Amino acid sequence: MKAPAFDYVKPRTLSAVFELLASHGDEARLLAGGQTLLATLNMRLSEPALLIDINAIEALKGISVHGLVLRIGALTTHSEIEASALVAEHAPLLALAVPHIAHRAIRNLGTWGGSIAYADPAAEWPCCLAALDGVVLLRSASGERRVAARDFFLDLYTTALAEGELVVACELPLAPPDSVFRFDELARRHGDYAIVGLALAARRVPGGLADLRLSFLGLGTTPIRARRTEALFEHAPFSALRLGALMDALLDELQPLADLTNTAATKRHLAGVLTRRLLASALAA
């Protein structure tokens, strides 16, 4: 199908974007990479009167280190993250996850900020942001605010973004040298939305893994952190001897939502399969 008619503007400054958002309200949509938006326009699932193309705004681009955080600009493409030496060094979880995002042609245009703002519960970046306890930087005409990942993803496609506000960047804590990350997902075809995926973060310590974090995609209306299960290993590291306790807690904690082709029981089972695989791999590291 063809998109309905709309108007298009490409402002040069953020203040111009805020003015356009203020005057057009819900009739306007921001256009970043467009890899979701253009599909929804073509299918007429979305019929905005105005597209505000933000790609001329240089302040939204680039990957950089600021003190103890890695900053990823909203307009950074998935391919740029894939090729980034800074990401490989300071946020290797993203480098592990990025090949799972759709296909090369999509990764060449799709953006980090678009994925965060769209907040698809089956997408890789919200899941990774949650695993890393990242922070979302939001800006509006009245200034900038910072929202932690756990407070940003509120419900299905619903975030803490307020009217007139946009995602300018995210900040991720720099990975310490003893950190270990794993990412995997189960999908029918490579690049499709996964049935379930898991981002694992931990620190390697004598006796096992400390600060274990388990963040799932595809299970609910937002990325799901298994916080009760993680808390079991707050004071003593996770080791292979405690795998049974972890799996019992996890399968009790996870309450997946079924989708069109997979029951909740299937999803819970597959989440367990992924968890065992990634834990074994992380312990062997």
Partner 1 sequence: MDDKKTIQITVNGQSRRCEVAPRQHLVDFLREDLSLTGAHLGCEHGVCGACSVRLDGQVVRGCLMLAVQADGRTVETIEGLTERGNVRDLQQAFVARNALQCGYCTSGMLMAAAELLDSRPHASREEVRVWISGNYCRCTGYQAIVDAICDVLAERKLARQGASA
Q: Which residues contact partner 1 by CB under 8 A? A: 1-8, 10, 31, 34-35, 38-39, 41-43, 49, 51, 53, 55, 79, 99, 102-106, 108-109, 189-191
Quote the tokens at residue 247.
Answer: 């799996």
* Contact assessment for residue 256 and residue 271, using Cβ atoms and an 8 Å cutoff: yes
CA distance 266 to 264: 5
The nearest distance, CB 34 to partner 1, in angstroms, is: 6
CA distance 59 to 42: 29
The nearest distance, CB 159 to partner 1, in angstroms, is: 22
Residue with Cβ nearer partner 1 (112 or 153) = 112
Q: Tell me the H-state helices in the chain.
A: 14-24, 37-42, 78-83, 85-90, 92-97, 104-107, 112-118, 124-131, 149-152, 227-231, 243-253, 264-283
The nearest distance, CB 264 to partner 1, in angstroms, is: 26
Residue with Cβ nearer partner 1 (45 or 245) = 45
Residue with Cβ nearer partner 1 (49 or 257) = 49
The nearest distance, CB 190 to partner 1, in angstroms, is: 4
Residue with Cβ nearer partner 1 (16 or 147) = 16
* Contact assessment for residue 25 and residue 49, using Cβ atoms and an 8 Å cutoff: no
In degrees rounded to 5, what are phi and psi of residue 241?
-65, -25
Residue with Cβ nearer partner 1 (88 or 247) = 88
- Cβ-proximal residues to 204 (8 Å cutoff; 6+ apart), any chain: 178, 179, 180, 210, 285
Quote the tokens at residue 7.
Answer: 């108007």
The nearest distance, CB 156 to partner 1, in angstroms, is: 20
The nearest distance, CB 199 to partner 1, in angstroms, is: 20
Residue with Cβ nearer partner 1 (192 or 252) = 192
The nearest distance, CB 208 to partner 1, in angstroms, is: 32
Residue with Cβ nearer partner 1 (62 or 191) = 191
What SS3 class is residue 256? coil
CA atoms within 13 A on the CB side of 216: 29
* Contact assessment for residue 126 and residue 133, using Cβ atoms and an 8 Å cutoff: no
